[in-house]
Amino acid sequence: MKIRCVWEHNGNDSILYANNFVGAFTRGKSKDIALQKMAGEVASYLEWKGEAVPDSLEAMITQEKASALTISDADSDVLFEEEKEPLSRAEYEELKALALKSAQDFLDLYEAIPDKNKSCLPVRKTFYGQVPRTASEMYEHTKNVNDYYFGEIGVETDHEGTIVDCRQRGFVLLEGQPDFLKNIVSLGSYNEEWSLRKVLRRFIWHDRIHAKAMYRMAVRTFGGDIPNVFHFTY
């Protein structure tokens, strides 16, 4: 099976997004390193979804975006060409269900960590400030993008309650807008282009970034009894 990848990069630093596996991604100091990781990432992603993993997975680049952003810290603004297309109701419901599953699994992972404020990770800063180190910091950071992402497509929501609660409320408000399935592309913060398709992908991608970090941190800090709800491999 072909993995259609969007390659976003700044010099050598690269993020690859699996366009036909919404939310799956790899990073690397070069395109080749990111490409080498992609088959394993998609296998993990399919196991998380409960789907069979093909015998063969081959990554191919179908879109490229050169960026001035700090790609090494997963700063991203790419809009896929396919993310400009309207959605069918069935397609939207499938992607919404996946975004809600991702939120629920993220919450389950967080709740399984015995001490939410303990971490073995060192302090590190990036373009957006200090990198979340503890499960509590990772969870709050991930939950709190809810109103930011929805806001970029004109949906005024919040991040109160659990990550699942606030995401569900956002979808209810979105569905109250006429013609939301037209997937209109709009210019949001920092002159970044957004669409509903992009928001759906970004939720799953952003959950996955911080779930990987949380799981890795928790195993290092507490040992190997942390449930691998996302089926990550290292």
- Say which CATH number the domain at 66 has: 3.30.160
Instruction: Give the helix/strand (H/E) hosting 194.
Output: strand 193-194
Instruction: Let me know whether 130 and 202 are in one domain.
Output: yes
Asked if 74 and 135 sit in the same domain, the reply is no
- Judging by DSSP bridges, how do beta strands 125-126 and 13-18 pair with one another? unpaired
Query: Does the pLDDT of residue 188 top 70, yes or no?
Result: yes
- The total of other beta-carbon atoms located within 10 Å of residue 58's CB is 11
Mean predicted confidence (pLDDT) in 71-81: 93
Residue 194 maps to a domain: yes
Of the candidates 108, 121, 49, the residue with the CA atom closest to the CA atom of residue 226: 108
Q: What is the pLDDT of residue 127?
A: 56
| Residue 18 in this model has a pLDDT that exceeds 80 | yes
Domain annotation covers residue 201: yes
Whether 217 is covered by a domain: the verdict is: yes
**C-beta separation of 70 from 127 below 8 A:** yes
Domain boundary among 52, 78, 104: 78
- Mean of pLDDT values over 137-156: 96
Residues pairing with 125 in the sheet: 130
Domain boundary pick from 78, 99, 130 = 78
Average pLDDT over the chain, rounded to an integer: 95
Predicted confidence at residue 233, as pLDDT, reads 84
Cα–Cα nearest to 146, from 106, 187, 90: 106
Positive or negative torsion for Cα 44, 25, 124, 149: negative
Give the domain extent around 16: 2-78
Q: Does 232 reside within a domain? A: no
pLDDT score at 126? 63
Residue 183 pLDDT level (bands cut at 50, 70, 90)? very high
Of 126, 151, 131, 152, the residue nearest 142 (C-alpha): 131
Task: Read off the pLDDT band of 73 (50, 70, 90).
Answer: confident
130 versus 75: the higher-pLDDT residue is 75
